[in-house]
Amino acid sequence: MVFTNETWLNVNHTISKSWTDETAASTSSVPIGKGEHLIICHTGTTVTYSFITDALLAFKSKKSGDYHEEMNAEKR
């Protein structure tokens, strides 16, 4: 069996919570991760439970909205 999936990664993506002390030096000032994002598509197999060689497709989004609008057969 072969399966495909896609996901995205927003610019400035960070964890939502982290441990810090009371000093300003330990806190993060990363902007909200909206806007540009990386679109990642890959194909795997249940035969070897691994990704298929050369099946990765990753590209920088040109829009800040729903990434599905940029998914089409022309991306290589």
Asked if 39 contacts 67 with a C-beta cutoff of 8 angstroms, the reply is yes
Read off the pTM. 0.61
Has residue 25 been placed in a domain?
no
In a domain, 20, yes or no: no
Residue-range definition of the domain harbouring residue 59 = 1-12+33-65
Q: 23 lies in a domain?
A: no
* SS3 state at 3: strand
Per the domain annotation, does 70 fall within a domain?
A: no
pLDDT of residue 33: 59
59 domain residue, yes or no: yes
63 and 70 in contact (C-beta within 8 Å)?
yes
Return the pLDDT at 29: 66
Alpha carbon distance 1, 7 (integer Å): 20
56 assigned to some structural domain: yes
Count up the domains in the chain and report the number: 1
Residue 19 falls inside a structural domain: no
- Residues of the chain scoring pLDDT < 70: 14-20, 24-35, 64-65, 67, 73-76
